[in-house]
Amino acid sequence: MARIWMYVSLLMFIAIKTQGCPQGWVQGPNACFFFSKFGGSWADGNAICQGFNTRLAEPEDDATLAFLLRHAKIEHPTNAQFYLGGSDMFAEGTWVWSSTLDKVNPSHWTPGNPNDDYNNGDCLTLNAPGGGLNDVRCTDTYSFICQAETENHETVNVIG
Ligand SMILES: [Ca+2]
Ligand SMILES: [Ca+2]
């Protein structure tokens, strides 16, 4: 009997340790991500992510971008584009990530972009069918992806 409880405890320990992301979020290479099922403007998505103490996703590296593209295509095939935390609203043509102001990797754009759609494409999306980043008008309606750092939520779980 004691041995069974030892196994149960061990399994529970493993379950807690591997549960790095909140319910409904997916574990990416370096962070947790939430894909919204409804759409809004870039500012809407940005505000909602910040409202949950997270931010619009910033896939700066190849592995994270590839992960988001794969997940978007498989789990959300009807949503072509998702807002990300990047913009050229401060200086036209200079694309930066929101939290770091790091430059967006030029090789991550889909072919033909950024094209400053209608002279007003200043917000960044993940274009799943296109396989990379796209610039769109910030007032257009798209779903969005929030990003939460894994460590933050492990800390929350431990305290909770
Ligand atoms: Ca622009
Ligand atoms: Ca574009």
Taking the centre of ligand 2 as the mean of its atom positions, its distance from the CA of residue 31, in whole angstroms, is 27
Long-range (24+ apart) CB contacts under 8 A made by 13-22 are: 16/157, 19/157, 20/150, 20/153, 20/154, 21/148, 21/150, 21/153, 22/148, 22/153
Taking the centre of ligand 2 as the mean of its atom positions, its distance from the CA of residue 120, in whole angstroms, is 9
Check residue 20 and give its pLDDT: 87
Q: Which ligand ends up closest to the CA of 119?
A: 1
Strand 121-127 and strand 132-137: the pairing is antiparallel
Q: Which ligand ends up closest to the CA of 96?
A: 1
Q: Which two tokens stand for residue 29?
A: 């290479």
Q: What is the pLDDT of residues 148-160, one digit of tens each?
A: 988 644 444 444 3
Taking the centre of ligand 1 as the mean of its atom positions, its distance from the CA of residue 2, in whole angstroms, is 64
Confirm if 103 and 88 have CB atoms less than 8 A apart. Answer: no
In the chain the domains, ranked by start, together with CATH numbers, are 2-159 (3.10.100.10)
* Degrees, nearest 5: CA angle 84-149-128: 30
Taking the centre of ligand 1 as the mean of its atom positions, its distance from the CA of residue 106, in whole angstroms, is 14
Taking the centre of ligand 2 as the mean of its atom positions, its distance from the CA of residue 75, in whole angstroms, is 23
Chain position carrying tokens 């033909």: 112
Per-residue confidence of the chain (160 residues) as pLDDT tens digits?
566 555 555 444 444 444 589 999 999 999 999 999 999 999 999 999 999 999 999 999 999 999 999 999 999 989 999 999 999 999 999 999 999 999 999 999 999 999 998 889 999 999 999 999 999 999 999 999 999 988 644 444 444 3
Check residue 36 and give its pLDDT: 97
Q: What is the pLDDT of residues 112-131, one digit of tens each?
A: 999 998 889 999 999 999 99
